[in-house]
Structure 1
Amino acid sequence: MEPEKEKTGRLPRKGRKRRRVPSKLIGTPEARISRSDPVDRQPEPKRARLASILIAENCEVTHEQLCELLKYAVLGKPDIEKPRWCQLLYQSQLKRIVVVILQGMSQLHFYRFYLEFGFLRKAFKHKFRLPPPSSNFLADIIGLQNKETAGYLPKTIEGSLPSAITKPNINLQNDPIIQKYGSKKVGLLRCLLTEEEMKTFNFPLQGSPDCENFITTKCNGSVTDNSPLFGLDCEMCITSKGRELTRISLVAEGGSCLMDELVKPDDKIIDYVTCYSGITKKMLNPVKTKLKDVQRQLKALLPPDAVLVGHSLDLDLGALKMIHPYVIDTSLLYAREQGRRFKLKFLAKAILGKDIQCSEGNGHDATEDATATLELAQYFLKYGPKKIAELNLEELWRDQEIRNIREKFQYTYKSVLKCLDSVDQKLLFLSRETDNIELPSKNCETIKCLSNKEVFEQARRQVDFHPFSIVQFSFEPFSPLLTEEMNKRMRIKWTEMSTIYAGPFSKDCNLRALKRLFKSFGPVRTMTLVLETHQPHLYIRYEVLEAAQLAIESLNGVLVEGVQIKVQRPVTELTLDCDTLVNELEQDSENRDTIYLSGVSQNFLGHLQELPNLFFGLEAVIVPTDPKSGRQKKYCFLKFKTFGNAQRALHILTGKDWKLKGRHALTPRHLHAWLRGLPPESRRPPGLRVRPPPSEQETLQNLKADHPKIAAWRWSRKIGRLYQSLSPGTLCVILLPGTTSPHGSLSGLGLMGIKDDEEEESITPSMGL
């Protein structure tokens, strides 16, 4: 890490030792602070509520996961398994559930008409993406069965997962393993991670600022293709200082276990993580072995030319606080596309035909895992990349996922209707007569209406008398041409909003210093020197909207190298309302309690854990990672319980001691994946029309009542009135299902919240109702 980068985010204390950050906090798109951390000890009121942050990866929630939540909301534990993608607390305090479906609308509609959807963006703090709908969206989200699991699963290969199948018609040249290693057999040296790869994937290395207190295994560099392999696996617990070693297993070629030790951490254990580590308090109570004992024993066991093999071995070596230069990481050896990795359990089954990690809830067996990684490396060396590519691991992975879902539905399947029936309750379903949807009449009361207006009026009268209601409004979908144009315009709009022009600068300006200055506000996609003007300007496109806005707010009108510069966005028809849109994004209920920080270092998260009293109400840390390298980026989002908590933390973190830059967030989490997919070119292709097609311009000019923009404004207000009529304790879920057509599919959007009295007081005035 460069000295200047290292300083950012450092705790202003002398003599502080560096510590590795828990991987629980840095290896995922988001990081949650453990509930046992003393972040905020205020007692929680016993009312139904949703956790303030969703834990679904990339914030995309499948229809099956949504169904899990609805079933849990009806019955609660222990009857239904708790949903893993979000937390519904005090489920027994729920009064009723209302699901509102805006059929024909998608995430694209919501952000194209973001300013018109005023009530929805301000009232619902929890937002998530939905995949494009199948042929029957309603049946998917309430779990209706047709024959077996129609509407959920494609027909696919049946049977157990094969260990070695050569699939015909595979283009081996496109396989990532072939692209990395070629098709011929390779020796051991070719499988070793290079120093650059080890640096990319955060392996402990000599000279790294995070490894000052690490010890080396004293290998002498005489490694060859005949050097011995040793399988290594560690299990860790979460302590007050982060992740610490609690078990180590070392296995030699031939399967003999050289070392299997329990280790007692020096610091207090906060979470034993038993479901993964298999470690319990009872197991560690009599243990006297410490980390230094394990380090000494491992150095004595390993010969000078030892090669360590493991799965995500960087975490194991980090827990051991040891540096070893010769490693094979099976999560990287069996390469996947786009930087993704196969799980060890899958590889053991697909390659070796072995079932491992089968003890549900009792954690992993470190010796079993170490043996599996060693055998996977030996298999690769024995049979070569071509043999692995012919197995078509991606196809096997998809088959296994589908079979897992089939088995789950076969043995534990329950629909929302069956859940309601088990407690002698019925579902109310309101929709238009033109909606060709029939639900079973046994435990469902269906009311068909002539229009959306009648559906709305019936909903206001009926939903308070039913424990579970589904209210469906139907809108005409956009034409394929209009959808394509709108999608194109929206992508360009977000690109231009994240782009700035800065200048003028003097002709002898220090360009390197200027680039450092603008990169300090956040990650840069493109930076170009503009020489078309009398004095040079910089064109900068940022990766996140917050960075561009922060640069404008911090530098516009400021003297830089003796010249007063102007920092502004490109002025186009798509950015004319940008100031209004940015202001409304900042007021979005999902963004108000979240702050954006730039310039964070890898040990920044460790500082947060060590200073809980400074950051009251901190609930989650969202740490983006590079999808290819998996490395942590130098910015993050901090999610707090309240706006006041966030404001106080922002003031502290952007003060002189921390030397970070930041502001309140502008981009909801579910939008990040979409924004990352923006085209690489930051400027518009020459001649591209971004104005609406004539048909849309005409309807806008005539303000026709059925235009989507008018409908968005009107129906956001109507849903607001419906929401206000609900009694406190009602779980309300708003779904824009997305669209599917031969011309392309659009992802959906979900919003949800639990109505309470405080919300009613705060939202009503802003609606103008």
Structure 2
Amino acid sequence: MVKAVCVNGLKRPAEGAGERQAARKRRKAAGGGREPGPEEKSSCLSAALFGEDCEISRDQLYELLKFAALGKCHSAAQPSWCRIYRQSHLAGVVVIVLPEMSQLHFYQFYLQFRHLRKVFRHRFTLTPSANFLASLYGEGANPKPQNTAQGLTSTSSKSSDLKCDPIFQKYGGKKRGLTSYILTSEELNKYDYPIKGSTRWKGYVCTGCDKQRTDSSPLFGLDCEMCLTAKGNEVTYVSLVDARGQCLLNELVKPQSEVVNYRTSFSGITEEMLLPVKTSLSDIQTRLKKILPRDAVLVGHSLNNDLQALEVAELNLEMLLKAENLAEVSKKKDALQPQGCRVQQQLNEPPHLSKPCFLLSASFLECLQVTGQKPLLLGRQELDSSGLCQSNLSTSNKQILQKALEDVPLSTFSIIQFSLGPENISSRLLAELCEKVGSKLTDMLTIYAGPFEENFRLKSVKKKFGKCGPIQCLTVVTETYQPYVCIQYEVLEAAQLAVESLNGAEVAGSCIKVQRPVTAAMLDCDVLIKELELDVENEGVIYVAGLKQSVTEKDLQEEFSQLKDLEMLFLPKDLQSAKHRNCCFLKFQKSQSAVDALEVINGWTLKGSKLRSRHALASGHLWRWIWQMNHSNGKQRGNIFYKKMQQLPDSEQDLKKKVKKLDNHIQKLYRSLQNNTLCVVLFPGVNSTYGSQSGLGLMGIKGDRGRSAC
């Protein structure tokens, strides 16, 4: 697995009420596109998105959108996977959705998406959704959009009447008891709650909470933090509070297996914190059984995952309270805080050690309407009474853009859809794109070295080229007059480093040439490598190779701690063996600090091994995606496909032009946004007969000058 370690933390500076008020006045007076002055406090976004931490679920995306749009004053909590500083200074939120497009499309047409890759410095892999826009409305939601003269869809609310509240729409205004808001048996199975008696949960400890629940049953808030071990997810932190906010359990837990990733950026748990801990999972299970009465009702955020990690099951889990309805219960019972129970508030823990108890599982846009905000939806699709999208292909992307330029400044939250049309997302074309991207990645990871003498030692070649990075496979090519060696690496940086440093070098007694495969797809390889280096996501990130297996993460932290402005260390690890891959990535707060570090590290010796370094090409989510594609597509692809497909079909040539226009539309819309606007671009992902393609998210705050400005 992979692991990211934060080296330097960043604390949010305190702001007084007068300062916030003055900043709001300045922001209100500011015009769109104006850069903030040195005295103006602007919003900024921070996210440690590396390796497995870059895969974001729909619920985590909701966390971000809810906090950005509503803020703390509406019981919204900071998202668990990133952080918005000075949220109250945000001028608005704009979400751009590209239906039926995935991470695959972004990298197949990487050069055409010029604006996206130049502007958005934060990217993440998005769990694919069959109908992403409908999911934003929530299951069972029934919004009533209005059609404009141009055939566009606009959703707004002119009243914050309590009758618009989703709780009242679903349950009415009549007072109900606690048991009216419980999960059914079907919902328990659907959301993977552990149930006693099921073979799947064999070996789980039963809580003994088998008594019938009533409207007077006691509520308990449960929250867990997990780390990744060789066994899987294991609990590292458990907290339990009662309905009055009294802390009943607040314990760190020692994992049973070796920890692969502490997930510090999400949980706040570090290796040092767990070193003195003796409490085991069985200790926690015993204490929970003693604390919880037989008719206890558990409340939590992603409670199914917490119960699975605790290996706890009970007979009547259908009595669990639905998290999204707890706010309504709090009004009636006065047992919980009116604005939502948060474990962090009850336990007085730092923010990074806890999560909010409630998910945003009701209609997101309805929540905005209830607070008096006017959400805007523009696109080729509108929602019918079932919440599903219906096509309205008479509307063009150009018309959508023109309407967006007019209406987005009038709304605090906007969703804009640009579509390439169904004719450009057929299963056949998707399969071709998948094959092309996979083949091109394989070719970019592959180099040919030679010629060598007939009696050369392959071990010497492997040792020399292994210093550039992890090798996936190495084979001897015998079809040539003299033998060559085909080397396929696991990371792009390793292949590029080999081409740059070993071409013309003497290896195994021969002066060799190092080159990539000569195929039609590789003709623009140099251009692509250059653009990847200049990608805004790779600013301040460098790649370091030549690490011995005996080098530990602690060794690296101590060795590189002297480097100026070092923010994070990312050490990739193998999924099967959990050993590191003889390379790492270093992220710096400033680009110049990364450049300076390159000069220092090249030639640096660590435990007898000479280190090599270069600018990063595939940090964050792309590193993980390449690894997955590389391993799922086999050890090495042939070039037969490119011999057949050297002439691109007309449909793909046309798609390239449309993608370029789409990028221009997004650029025009982005330029029109006011500074301090959070902009999120979503490639929702694709589910088809050819398999599921992960989505991609790009995000940034306009005018954000990076973490150093926070």
Q: Please give the range of the TM-score, normalised by the shorter of the 2 chains.
A: 0.5 to 0.7
Distance in 1 (alpha carbons) for counterparts of 2:431 and 2:191? 41
Q: Aligned-pair distance for 1:578?
A: 0.9
Query: Which of 104, 108, 111 pairs up with 1:112?
Result: 108
Distance in 1 (alpha carbons) for counterparts of 2:190 and 2:668? 50
Instruction: Please show how residues 670-709 of structure 1 align to structure 2 within 5 Å.
Output: 670-677=621-628, 678=630, 679=632, 681-684=634-637, 687-688=640-641, 691-692=644-645, 697-699=649-651, 707-709=654-656
Distance in 2 (alpha carbons) for counterparts of 1:646 and 1:499? 27
SS of 1:30's equivalent?
A: strand
Instruction: Please show how residues 148-167 of structure 1 align to structure 2 within 5 Å.
Output: 155-157=187-189, 165=197, 167=199
Going from structure 1 to structure 2, the CA distance change for 1:683 and 1:369 (only over 3 Å counts) comes to: closer
Q: Aligned-pair distance for 1:367?
A: 5.7
Residue 470 in structure 1 maps to residue 415 in structure 2: yes
Distance in 2 (alpha carbons) for counterparts of 1:405 and 1:587? 50
Deviations 1:472-519 (A, max 9, x none): 112224221121122012111101110000011223434322210011
Distance in 1 (alpha carbons) for counterparts of 2:523 and 2:312? 50
Distance in 2 (alpha carbons) for counterparts of 1:425 and 1:606? 49
Aligned AA (1:600): L
| Partner residue, 1:425 | 373
Aligned AA (2:698): L
Distance in 2 (alpha carbons) for counterparts of 1:93 and 1:410? 30
Q: Is the 8 A contact 2:398 2:665 kept in 1?
A: no
| Partner residue, 2:129 | 133
Query: Which of 70, 77, 81 pairs up with 1:85?
Result: 81
| Partner residue, 1:620 | 568
Residue 452 in structure 1 maps to residue 452 in structure 2: no
SS of 2:280's equivalent?
A: helix
Going from structure 1 to structure 2, the CA distance change for 1:452 and 1:688 (only over 3 Å counts) comes to: closer
Aligned AA (2:481): H
| Partner residue, 1:536 | 483
| Partner residue, 2:613 | 662
Q: Aligned-pair distance for 1:600?
A: 2.7
Q: Aligned-pair distance for 1:63?
A: 1.4
Q: Is the 8 A contact 1:595 1:664 kept in 2?
A: yes
Q: Aligned-pair distance for 1:611?
A: 6.4
Query: Which of 243, 246, 256 pairs up with 1:312?
Result: 256
Aligned AA (2:410): F
Q: Aligned-pair distance for 1:713?
A: 0.8
Deviations 1:18-50 (A, max 9, x none): xxxxxxxxx85322224179xxxxx99842111
Deviations 1:152-198 (A, max 9, x none): x9955289966752549x9x9xx9xxxxxxxxxxxxxxxxxxxxxxx
SS of 2:572's equivalent?
A: coil
Q: Is the 8 A contact 1:129 1:750 kept in 2?
A: yes
Q: Aligned-pair distance for 1:746?
A: 2.1
SS of 1:557's equivalent?
A: coil
Going from structure 1 to structure 2, the CA distance change for 1:693 and 1:552 (only over 3 Å counts) comes to: closer
Q: Is the 8 A contact 1:505 1:537 kept in 2?
A: yes
| Partner residue, 1:369 | 280
Residue 645 in structure 1 maps to residue 593 in structure 2: yes
Q: Is the 8 A contact 1:64 1:141 kept in 2?
A: no
Q: Is the 8 A contact 1:104 1:476 kept in 2?
A: no
| Partner residue, 2:447 | 500
Aligned AA (2:100): G
| Partner residue, 2:16 | none
Q: Is the 8 A contact 1:485 1:692 kept in 2?
A: no
Q: Is the 8 A contact 2:51 2:572 kept in 1?
A: no
Aligned AA (1:544): V
Q: Aligned-pair distance for 1:603?
A: 4.7
| Partner residue, 1:96 | 92
Residue 635 in structure 1 maps to residue 583 in structure 2: yes
SS of 2:468's equivalent?
A: coil
Distance in 2 (alpha carbons) for counterparts of 1:81 and 1:369? 30
Aligned AA (2:323): K
Q: Is the 8 A contact 1:158 1:403 kept in 2?
A: no
Residue 416 in structure 1 maps to residue 364 in structure 2: yes
Going from structure 1 to structure 2, the CA distance change for 1:234 and 1:403 (only over 3 Å counts) comes to: closer
Structure 1 residue runs without a partner (length 5+): 1-26, 38-42, 176-199, 203-232, 236-273, 279-309, 316-338, 342-361, 376-392, 441-446, 760-769
Residue 121 in structure 1 maps to residue 117 in structure 2: yes
Going from structure 1 to structure 2, the CA distance change for 1:525 and 1:643 (only over 3 Å counts) comes to: same
Bigger shift: residues 496-505 or 409-418: 409-418
Q: Is the 8 A contact 1:98 1:470 kept in 2?
A: yes
SS of 1:711's equivalent?
A: helix
| Partner residue, 1:241 | none
TM-score (norm 2): 0.65
Q: Aligned-pair distance for 1:572?
A: 1.0
SS of 1:727's equivalent?
A: coil
Distance in 2 (alpha carbons) for counterparts of 1:145 and 1:34? 44
Q: Aligned-pair distance for 1:731?
A: 0.3
Query: Which of 61, 71, 86 pairs up with 1:66?
Result: 61
Deviations 1:247-298 (A, max 9, x none): xxxxxxxxxxxxxxxxxxxxxxxxxxx97649xxxxxxxxxxxxxxxxxxxx
| Partner residue, 2:532 | 585
Going from structure 1 to structure 2, the CA distance change for 1:403 and 1:497 (only over 3 Å counts) comes to: farther
Aligned AA (1:516): K
| Partner residue, 2:510 | 563
SS of 1:734's equivalent?
A: strand
Distance in 2 (alpha carbons) for counterparts of 1:604 and 1:77? 40
SS of 1:666's equivalent?
A: coil
Q: Aligned-pair distance for 1:672?
A: 2.8
Going from structure 1 to structure 2, the CA distance change for 1:481 and 1:618 (only over 3 Å counts) comes to: same
Structure 2 residue runs without a partner (length 5+): 12-37, 142-169, 172-180, 204-228, 238-248, 263-272, 287-303, 327-357
Q: Is the 8 A contact 2:47 2:81 kept in 1?
A: no
Going from structure 1 to structure 2, the CA distance change for 1:71 and 1:543 (only over 3 Å counts) comes to: same
Going from structure 1 to structure 2, the CA distance change for 1:158 and 1:654 (only over 3 Å counts) comes to: closer
Q: Is the 8 A contact 2:365 2:375 kept in 1?
A: yes
Where does structure 1 differ by over 6 angstroms across 4 or more consecutive aligned residues?
362-365, 393-396, 398-406
Residue 750 in structure 1 maps to residue 697 in structure 2: yes
Q: Aligned-pair distance for 1:570?
A: 0.8
Bigger shift: residues 564-573 or 604-613: 604-613
Distance in 1 (alpha carbons) for counterparts of 2:687 and 2:432? 16
| Partner residue, 1:514 | 461
Q: Is the 8 A contact 2:451 2:510 kept in 1?
A: yes
Distance in 2 (alpha carbons) for counterparts of 1:455 and 1:419? 25
Distance in 2 (alpha carbons) for counterparts of 1:369 and 1:680? 40
TM-score (norm 1): 0.60
SS of 1:571's equivalent?
A: coil
| Partner residue, 1:352 | none
Q: Is the 8 A contact 2:44 2:704 kept in 1?
A: no
Going from structure 1 to structure 2, the CA distance change for 1:365 and 1:655 (only over 3 Å counts) comes to: closer
Aligned AA (1:630): A
Q: Is the 8 A contact 1:67 1:142 kept in 2?
A: no
Distance in 1 (alpha carbons) for counterparts of 2:111 and 2:321? 42
Q: Is the 8 A contact 2:43 2:704 kept in 1?
A: no
Deviations 1:449-483 (A, max 9, x none): 83221110111122122111111112224221121
Q: Aligned-pair distance for 1:650?
A: 1.8
Aligned AA (2:90): L
Aligned AA (1:501): Y
| Partner residue, 2:354 | none
Q: Is the 8 A contact 2:51 2:621 kept in 1?
A: no
Going from structure 1 to structure 2, the CA distance change for 1:437 and 1:745 (only over 3 Å counts) comes to: farther
Going from structure 1 to structure 2, the CA distance change for 1:584 and 1:561 (only over 3 Å counts) comes to: same
| Partner residue, 1:178 | none
Q: Aligned-pair distance for 1:740?
A: 2.5
Going from structure 1 to structure 2, the CA distance change for 1:635 and 1:681 (only over 3 Å counts) comes to: same
| Partner residue, 2:5 | 31
| Partner residue, 1:181 | none
Going from structure 1 to structure 2, the CA distance change for 1:403 and 1:128 (only over 3 Å counts) comes to: farther
Q: Is the 8 A contact 2:285 2:312 kept in 1?
A: no
Bigger shift: residues 366-375 or 632-641: 366-375
Bigger shift: residues 500-509 or 548-557: 500-509
Q: Is the 8 A contact 1:64 1:143 kept in 2?
A: no
Distance in 1 (alpha carbons) for counterparts of 2:501 and 2:560? 29
Aligned AA (1:312): Q
